[in-house]
Amino acid sequence: MLLSSHDGRKFHIRVYVLAVGDLKVYVYRHMLALFAPSPYVSSANNLDNQYAHLTNTCLQAKLSNFDESKAVDLFWNLDLPQEKLNHIFDQICAILRDTFTAVSTESTSFQTWSNCLEQFGFDFMVDEDCNAFMLEANAYPDFKQTGENLKFVVEGFMAASVATAASRFLLRDNSIASDFQNIIDSDCEDLVEVYTHKNERKW
């Protein structure tokens, strides 16, 4: 999908995901849109122009004219009707649900533990019909690509992750429940639960 509001540049969506215990999976609603630095032109002469095709900020940061405000935007600020944004988000949640459903049964490649959590970064592309497709999954997401202007997204994800972990691991003790309740109510509404699986492993 190319948006005229962003000069017809390619983009991908970065989604932060939290996996807790064995296993609940949450999607952080505040997703990012990362744009290529140059407009995309459908032409054989444009195939070698990596700046029209690559959307990662690591590449762009090396450019002398790098403008962070044009490289990264909030997904929910994209110039699309709200129903299309909602449609894309719902698809992303469904794809992630299917992804974790598939890997949760493969203990040789994906192992969960009841007292642990893990953060992931998933990248998605969107076609002209607002269909979402997963590009890749990152077990060690690069939070720097969010940039200084939107670092509150990462800070919010961290706060929501801690609050969600606290609700699972600490709130069993009623004496500290009240200390965490307000944090959980305010921060974790941004985390959308998409999958729950009970690990039956006995060891």
**What's the structural domain count of the chain?**
1
Q: Check residue 157 and give its pLDDT.
A: 87
Is pLDDT of 203 > 70? no
Q: Is residue 46 part of a domain?
A: yes
Q: Check residue 66 and give its pLDDT.
A: 65
Give per-residue pLDDT as tens, 117-173: 889 999 999 999 999 999 999 988 888 767 777 888 899 888 888 888 777 666 554
For residue 175, how many other CB atoms are within 10 A of its CB? 6
Give per-residue pLDDT as tens, 166-188: 776 665 543 322 322 222 233 34
Q: What is the H or E stretch that residue 17 is in?
A: strand 11-20
Tell me which residue range forms the domain holding 52. 4-142+189-196
Residues ≥6 apart with Cβ < 8 Å to 125: 1, 12, 13, 132, 133, 135
Q: Check residue 150 and give its pLDDT.
A: 83
Residue 19: φ, ψ to 5°:
-110, 125
pTM for this prediction: 0.81
Q: Check residue 195 and give its pLDDT.
A: 72
Give per-residue pLDDT as tens, 23-77: 888 889 999 999 888 788 876 666 777 777 777 766 766 666 666 777 889 999 9
Q: Which CATH number does the domain housing residue 126 bear? A: 3.30.470.20
Q: Is residue 169 part of a domain?
A: no
> Which residue is it, tokens 């929910």?
76
Q: DSSP state, 44?
A: G
Q: Is residue 178 part of a domain?
A: no
Q: Is residue 91 part of a domain?
A: yes
Q: Check residue 175 and give its pLDDT.
A: 32
Q: Is residue 22 part of a domain?
A: yes
